[in-house]
Amino acid sequence: PEQMKMFLTRIGFGAKAVVTGDVSQIDLPKTQLSGLVDAERVLKRVKGIATTRFTSADVVRHPLVARIVDAYDGARKRAGAA
């Protein structure tokens, strides 16, 4: 989170910043908070900041990739419900 904050607090006048990431591909230890996840949570109500969440419907690669994403999402949801 500190590195994300460091980056975001250095935006200058007239600048635009785009942060991209995939929260399903974070490889940090479970005990370590992701800067991407933290920034989305902390900044969600800040005027001038927008976020977009994509789904498997937004996958522009091979159609099989969208089905793979759906399968992993389903498995994650089932594991969370168990």
* Cα 23 from Cα 72, distance rounded (Å): 13
CA 69, CA 58: separation in Å to the nearest integer?
11
Q: For position 82, what pLDDT does the model report?
A: 60
What is the chain's mean pLDDT, rounded? 91
Assign 8 a pLDDT band (cuts: 50, 70, 90): very high
Question: If you search the block for the tokens 């992993």, which residue do you land on?
Answer: 72
pTM for the predicted model, two decimal places: 0.70
Q: What is the pLDDT of residue 29?
A: 94
CA atoms within 13 A on the CB side of 82: 6
